[in-house]
Structure 1
């Protein structure tokens, strides 16, 4: 049987042993669309509820048995930080408000046309087209939640139990940035600096990355910025492992919350500290940070100092 788009997206999301129960409910919803549209609607709503409970179970969020689907979804939204952020806030608000509309519509359709409640001879029954729409809406929203969950779990693995974010950067790439910052004739000044000095900026916006503050800027091509030719082109940056725009983490809000309370930020890191870590590193440097502290480690020493991460020195 040819896979529908939603089915194709769900294949790798419900296929694991831990999510086998979701796969069973999903298949029940699919197979009932044509012959039993009433049951398909009920199964679609049950699938979405099971997905919400799975997210809450995996993330350790407690919930009572009396919570309805909308209340469960609100807790999922809080845990996965499904909120509007940055310059896309207006679009995101519309997008996320639409997910609540899907929840309410599925619940009402199940109540009026599903087979969860007994119906009289004149009771409403959905068409196969309506049942298919209900199943696809539930599947699409579930895919979104499971994808956000996977990203959330990967991001939180980069946090220690005492709230520090652990960021790893490629040694060779960071060396290029340090060399550029040190050898540049001019430098950009961060808001937290009184004057511009050679430094490496730790930035969180479209990913989490390091960049040189040297001018002319070092471009992603490896060449220096040329006024009128390369202006506004991408700069060379070193993304934290897993935190690039196309990496496994597509939502690094848990990391940003640990480091800045959730806001985008730009933190200048001293060149001297970067060089010391690079000279001792084997393949990576490790930046450990929270709301008030940071420390830069070579990967060779990181395991030895991990037990002391609760006593970082104050960030400038």
Structure 2
């Protein structure tokens, strides 16, 4: 049995999505980097990975273990995990991590543009460039002393590319 090489806590493409067709002419490209504390990001990721069920991001999306990047009351990463064994009164909060400087009561739309949104970061699908899942990379970074998770978004009206690094 071959063991995959140990992941490096480096920049990795998380997701690129096409928002419109090929004939669309995009507006100005913007880039922003959000920094999150790694420990609560990993806690949210572990929650999603261990959950019995997962909420889909949209009616047409497949529900897989994911972190949701949400922009509404602040901007944060949250588990999409659902535990159906909860009983009334047993409702622990879903693990999440706010971006530094973008906690409750803040509005990141000047930075991120437009309306509230929720973007899924798949935790289990291996990255095409290095063969490791986001969950594996988060675990590796935490084990090797990293304390910060940096999410970089490069986007325009047509596309968004998310990459991250840890330190």
| Structures share fold, TM-score greater than 0.5 | yes
**More strand per residue: 1 or 2?**
2
More helix by share: 1
1:255 corresponding residue in structure 2: 111
Contact 1:256 1:264 in 2 (8 A): no
Structure scoring higher RCO (CA < 8 A, sep ≥ 6) equals 2
Distance 2:97 2:136 in 1: 15
The 2-side partners of 1:279 and 1:293 are apart by 26
Shift of residue 286, structure 1, vs aligned partner: 1.0
Q: Which residue of 1 aligns with 2:118?
A: 266
* Contact 2:70–2:77, Cα closer than 8 Å, also in 1: yes
* 2:101 aligned residue: 242
| 1:181-218 deviation digits (Å, cap 9, x = unpaired) | 1111111111175321111110111110001111128x
- Structure 1 stretches of 4+ with a deviation exceeding 4 A read none
Match of 2:57 in 1: 190
User: 5+ residue gaps in structure 1?
Assistant: 1-160, 218-224, 301-316
Give the Å deviation of 1:270. Answer: 1.4
Aligned residues: 125
Normalising by structure 1, we get a TM-score of 0.36
**TM score, norm. by length of structure 2:** 0.64
1:212-227 aligned within 5 A: 212-216=79-83, 226-227=86-87
**Does the aligned pair in 1 maintain the 2:151–2:164 contact within 8 Å?**
yes
Aligned-CA RMSD value? 2.6
> Structure 1 192/297 Cα, relative in aligned 2: closer, same or farther at 3 Å?
farther
- Residues 207 and 245 of structure 1 are in contact (CA less than 8 Å); yes or no, is this contact kept in structure 2? yes
- Quick check: 1:200–1:268 contact (8 Å CA) kept in 2? yes
The whole-number CA distance in structure 2 between the counterparts of 1:181 and 1:193 is: 19
Task: Pick closer, same or farther for the CA change 1:278–1:295 going to 2, 3 Å.
Answer: farther
Name the SS of the counterpart of 1:269 in structure 2: strand
Q: Which runs of 5+ in 2 are unaligned?
A: 1-27, 124-132
Give how far 1:273 is off. Answer: 2.5
Counterpart-to-counterpart distance in 2, 1:230 and 1:256? 35
Which of the numbers 175, 179, 197 marks the counterpart of 2:46? 179
